[in-house]
Amino acid sequence: MVRRVRLGRRTASERARTWAGPPPLLVLATLVGFGVVPFLDHSTSPPQPRAVVVAGDVRSPRSVEQHVALPPAALPPGQGGHLTSGLRPVTLKPVDVGVATMNMYRKLAPADAAADARRLTRHPGVDVVGWQEANRFGAVLHALPGWDTKTFPFGKRNSELAVSWRSSEFTLVSARQRQVARGISSLEGRYPFGNRLVATVTLKHRETGRLLTVIDVHLPQAIEDLDRPGHWRDTINAFRARNQLQRIAAAWHGAPGRWVVGTGDYNFDVRADARHRPAGGPRRALAGTAVSSYQALGTDVQPTHWPTDRRIDYVWVDRAALTEGEIRFRGQWVLGGFHSDHRPLFTKLVLS
């Protein structure tokens, strides 16, 4: 019997046995979908994915602020990544903030202290103030119109440190105070002083939501040799001040927020300190941590302590933030017309 060989088209069952791809109905449905879907109504947008909240800049332990960020690949090289086609880099609106420091002088009459505080906070460019010798003037600072103030209890009174801010610009996030050096009595040394503290106040900028931390301090008196400016005086005060400066530098590393600034009366002339660079002096103690407005803008301003003709009141900014352009100095001024023996130092900063 001769088997007939079929050379024509195969039957459907034969095709099913030899086809290795998807089922024919699935192929047909896919083709219809591509042909029809583009003409459907898409007026209702699909739900947008929620932004991922990631930890803030991880360059240092103090950077703990959370913020919304693009994936790392979308960041420009200056922010730790590479620009990817089709994604826009993160940009922050620059913010102008005025930061001032002022020693109120503890022996002032309350009326004179109130006049000084109102004069400084009425300045249109000032937004944040770090105060020293304010332990008797808490009521004055809490009564400033349009401003909020953080004072700290210390024993049965307030401590001498306080921080105030313009309430329309900032709101309080956290505040703490630490003792960093023990004071001495008149029996222990020629120039008695109280315990030395560091106040750390973190504020949230209302418009941007970013955090600004202020580190406010006051070093003891009688630490610089006025007969040899730029050299330490041979006093217990100077020894305690050197220890205090080391602890101030350490406080910066734990400070939260994108922006960190420092205010304070350092009782050491900035020009003499820059000229002689004494071991443990303000400039050397904070060299790896902070930069003062004097270093960035020069010292061609009036003395802040007019009785001794010295510039001893400082505003500092975080060194890493300054290097990376997150903080810039715009200008500095020493303001006049105050009752205190200190004139306030006022600096204008650009924060981004």
Residue-wise pLDDT tens digits, 315-342: 999 999 999 999 999 999 999 999 999 9
Q: What is the pLDDT of residues 108-151, one digit of tens each?
A: 999 999 999 999 999 999 999 999 999 999 999 999 999 999 99
Q: Which of 119, 76, 127, 77 is nearest to 100 (CA)?
A: 127
| Per-residue pLDDT reduced to its tens digit, 22-76 | 555 444 444 444 444 444 444 343 444 333 333 333 334 443 333 333 333 333 4
User: Which residues are paired to 329 by β-bridges?
Assistant: 349
Helix (H) or strand (E) holding 175: strand 170-181
The answer to whether residues 146 and 168 touch, using CB atoms and an 8 Å cutoff, is: yes
Q: Percentage of the chain with pLDDT > 90?
A: 71
* pLDDT interval class at 187 (50, 70, 90): confident
pLDDT > 70 in the chain, percent = 74
* Start and end residues for every CATH 3.60.10.10 domain found in the chain: 95-351
According to the CATH classification, is domain 95-351 in 1.10.540.10? no
Radius of gyration of the chain (CA): 32
Q: Which residue has the higher pLDDT, 193 or 88?
A: 193
Total-model pTM = 0.75
| Average pLDDT value over all residues in the chain | 82
Q: Are 78 and 352 in contact (CB under 8 A)?
A: no
CA 133 – CA 263 distance, rounded (Å): 13
How sure is the predictor about 230, in pLDDT bands with cuts at 50, 70 and 90?
Answer: very high
Mean pLDDT calculated for residue range 154-172: 96
pLDDT at residue 9 tops 90: no
Return the pLDDT at 61. 41
Q: Please answer whether residues 267 and 221 qualify as being in contact, where contact means their C-beta atoms are separated by less than 8 angstroms.
A: yes
Q: Assign 90 a pLDDT band (cuts: 50, 70, 90).
A: low
